[in-house]
Structure 1
Amino acid sequence: MIMVGVLCEGQTEENMVNDFLAPELSEYGICLVPTILMTRMPAGGPAGKGGVSKWAKIEKDLHKLLASTHWAAVTTLLDYYGLPQDSPGMSDRPSGSAVDKVTHVERRLAEHMGHPRFLPHVVLHETESWVFAAAEQLGDWADDPTLARELKRQADQAGGPESVNDGPETAPSKRILKLHPRYVKTQDGPVAVMDLGLAALRAACPHFDDWIAKLLALTPCGLAQGPQR
């Protein structure tokens, strides 16, 4: 088994690693270990989990992870929606598709960190995009076939789950909550995606597929698998 550290934005992403990605990739000899960003400490209260407003916080945690030599690689599970505006690559994003923009940001992140074991991944547009790919599974979980049909319709209209946009009121998580107010991000999303499975999610989400292919390329077993699109 090779060890890969995953810097996660919050508890939802941490659960996605623990409940879904780690079991799937363990079959290829990859052990994913999530580390969560601790942020948002309200006055008089405990630190919160999830969300970060400054790149410096992310960079500090990445340096800590990369300093540990037992990691074969360090990657990230950060949402493009809400990524700090001072992050490398955000200020000079090219025009074009969301994929063009996010791959530009990932390239700049890698250049900025300048570490051979760093494999940045920024989710288009947040992990709830993966839940759009698992619309049928979420509908089954919620016992609501209408929910599944509407999520699938919106994803198809956008051009795929990863193309569902990142507006303040139209981001994937906001859309799901509007349709299903009882949706619990940290629980329902990971369960639905887990039921969908890795191969199906890779087929539905090309940017996610590229990330998984890079992780699999770390092992001789994974190299033989190739992308699943």
Structure 2
Amino acid sequence: MEAQHPGRKARPMRRVCVVCEGQTEEEFILQVLAPAFYDLGLNLVPEMIETSPGHKGGALSYDRVKRHLRNTLRQNSAPVVTTLFDLYRLDNGFPGITASQGLSDLSQRLTAVKQALHEDIVAVAGCEPGRFIPYIQPHEFEALLFSDIEKLVAVEPAWRNASAALSAARAAAASPEHINDQPDTKPAARLERALSNPGYRKRRHGPVAALKIGLPAMEAECAFFAGWLAQIRSLAPH
């Protein structure tokens, strides 16, 4: 806890609840995002959705997401709520997802889903529109790890042998966020195929690699992710 000095006002803090998909994202928020935003007066708190009785994280049905977001937005303790969900295999029940699948431009796809999600959640929660910031990561969390291949492969000594293959995958896409979202070519599948001794494990290696790569590199390479963080920074108390 920060020490208080006589005559000095406590620093105002604004709580931002980040509803995320799983434990990897939860650790990413705790280890990477939250420390970077704390000095701005923003307290980022991850929150996973219950997917079955007693279990959180994993495949998200929109009914569960909608109920969770509605309930969270109705709490006074969470003035601002945002999301961190993967576009890859996003439940077809999400508003806008079916229509977006016919769009070839990634930006248009994301905009269609985020706008539809925002409209639906704000309506059901009955909250001010600015209190909900929907974010969908293209195409999944692992895309961020392609922002700096050399730092990624430095996580484990044996991974350096995969540098050329992963660099080629990155070079073939417009950005890390444009890496293919098919089952065999999505970012996580590429990591699982290329990295061995030990193999890539999302929960074990994801947050560690992200911390090593750092937010500046991710934001420089991943425009959609950078845009989301800019929205969160704009919430900082003045």
Amino-acid identity (%): 32
Is the radius of gyration larger for structure 1 or structure 2? 2
Aligned to 1:73: 80
Aligned to 1:111: 119
Aligned to 1:204: 221
Aligned-residue Cα RMSD (Å) equals 1.6
TM-score, normalising length from structure 1? 0.88
CA distance in 2 between counterparts of 1:119 and 1:55 reads: 16
Structure 2: stretches of 5+ with no match in the other structure:
1-12
Moved over 4 A (4+): none
**1:145 CA displacement:** 2.2
**1:40 CA displacement:** 5.2
> In structure 1, which of residues 5, 8, 12 is the aligned counterpart of residue 24 of structure 2?
12
Structure 1: stretches of 5+ with no match in the other structure:
222-229
* Secondary structure at 1:51 match in 2: coil
CA distance in 2 between counterparts of 1:152 and 1:73 reads: 37
Aligned to 2:166: 151
Q: Deviations over 1:68-87 (max 9, x none)?
A: 12223100010000110110
Residues 48-197 of structure 1 correspond to what in structure 2 (within 5 A)?
49-52=57-60, 54-93=61-100, 95-114=103-122, 115=127, 116=129, 117-143=131-157, 144-181=159-196, 182-197=199-214
Q: Is the CA contact (8 Å cut-off) linking 2:48 and 2:56 kept in structure 1?
A: no
> In structure 2, which of residues 31, 35, 38 is the aligned counterpart of residue 26 of structure 1?
38
Q: Is the CA contact (8 Å cut-off) linking 1:89 and 1:108 kept in structure 2?
A: yes
Q: Using a 3 Å threshold, how does the CA distance of structure 1 residues 153 and 74 change in structure 2: closer, same or farther?
A: same
* Secondary structure at 1:170 match in 2: coil
CA distance in 1 between counterparts of 2:18 and 2:56 reads: 19
* Secondary structure at 1:187 match in 2: helix
* Secondary structure at 2:90 match in 1: coil
Q: Deviations over 1:189-224 (max 9, x none)?
A: 111111111111111100001000000011256xxx
CA distance in 2 between counterparts of 1:220 and 1:65 reads: 21
Q: Is the CA contact (8 Å cut-off) linking 1:9 and 1:37 kept in structure 2?
A: yes
